[in-house]
Structure 1
């Protein structure tokens, strides 16, 4: 794992692109879409959150449009989902597991990039959550599902936890690699445990 902050953010971004691309492609296969539909869902899930983030912080053109590795990672994920979906489905709940992994990676990478561009902690945290949730929202809307971030499950709150870990590590001057790993693992663990235990975000009293 690289220790240079810029390289680390790129690596986390690319891994997140591939993992979220797998989640989009796997969902498309489950919905019996053809190979074009699988690739579209993979690209949407993998790249939408990062594009939103880059546009908002002024990192234009977005990384996915000037670095071919992003598109190649997303396309590779789509092809992997198309041809290897039986193996991926052995995870049990493949979309949820992949989604949780991508959520953690993108929350950490998104918040870290926002901090690197000089944003203060609060907007950096919001951009981290947007990066993490944006791709999943696009993926779910394209198959006419209510986005997971709007359901009762812990989703955006898990992403927010990861951004808080990154912000705390940044403020304390801790090494970026352990902080990034801790943040991503915290998001993954909270998301998976919340689904397995049926935890949900608070609702309005009496609703």
Structure 2
């Protein structure tokens, strides 16, 4: 159960998504403590579990390392306790979502390359890791998944995963390249949120609904 840079980033993304998932649950619907924490944990652990299933890295890291479950549950509990500040945390939800998206896009791609998968497969796995938990969350609260309807969501994940894979191919391995790729993903996502930038949609489509 060694602690490596990849595990630290993975746990950071887990915590960010746990907070985000639980806060989103509080904002979208009325749930008790079990529902809030469960939704936070699903948001946090869903993408990584899907990643490990795709990579045939079984059992998934979630079930091998107790820290994932502890961090996810802790994030959900913290969000539940802060529910009385809900009217002031909409911006926090967006920031946490972008942070989780960025960290998971990078760690997913790095795990794929570390297991010997090709560049294209690693980018796809990184993107799936980033959006998987949030997609499950949105389905459970009966909302169109952000990856299908929100502005720049899947695009930043693909960019971040591509950046870290390219850095690996060029031999620029290490924390600088990893953090740089995560920051790039985060910035693109937050620019999309701040300026309401959307990916192209079919002509004549109605404007996206706010989640």
What TM-score, normalized by structure 1, do the two folds share?
0.92
1:103 is aligned to 101
Residues 18-70 of structure 1, C-alpha deviations (whole Å, 9 max, x = no match): 00000011112222211011011111100000000001111100000111000
Deviation digits for residues 152-207 of structure 1 (CA, Å, limit 9, x no counterpart): 41111110110111011101111320111111111111111112112111224566
Unmatched runs of 5 consecutive residues or more in structure 2: 206-211
Does residue 154 in structure 1 map to residue 152 in structure 2?
Answer: yes
C-alpha distance in structure 2 between counterparts of 1:205 and 1:26, whole Å: 34
**Which residue does the alignment assign to 2:38?**
40
**Can you list the C-alpha shifts for 1:84-125, whole angstroms capped at 9, x where unaligned?**
245676454222211111000000000000000000100100
TM-score normalised per structure 2: 0.91
Greater shift after overlay, 123-132 or 182-191? 182-191
Matched-pair contact (CA < 8 Å) for 1:22–1:98: yes
Map of 1:142 onto structure 2: 140
Q: 156-165 or 93-102, which moves further after superposition?
A: 93-102
Is structure 2 residue 48 aligned with structure 1 residue 55? no
The SS at the match of 2:6 is helix
Q: 2:17 aligns with which of 3, 20, 36?
A: 20
Report if the CA contact (8 A) 1:169-1:176 is conserved. Answer: no
CA RMSD of aligned residues (A): 1.8
SS of 2:82's equivalent in the other structure is helix
Distance change in 2, residues 1:131/1:89 (3 Å): farther
Structure 1 regions of 5+ residues with no counterpart? none
1:118 counterpart residue number: 116
Partner-residue secondary structure (3-state), 1:93 = helix
- For residues 200 and 182 of structure 1, do their structure 2 counterparts lie closer, same or farther at Cα, with a shift above 3 Å needed? same
Query: Which deviates more, 196-205 or 33-42?
Result: 196-205
State how far apart, in whole Å, the 2-side matches of 1:109 and 1:149 are.
19
Rounded Cα–Cα distance in structure 2 between residues aligned with 1:116 and 1:86 = 43
| Residues paired across the two proteins, number | 203
- Pair 1:83 & 2:85 matched: no
- Following TM superposition, the consecutive aligned residue runs of length 4 or more in structure 1 with deviations greater than 6 angstroms are none
Q: Report the Cα distance in structure 2 between the residues aligned to 1:48 and 1:97, rounded to whole angstroms.
A: 19
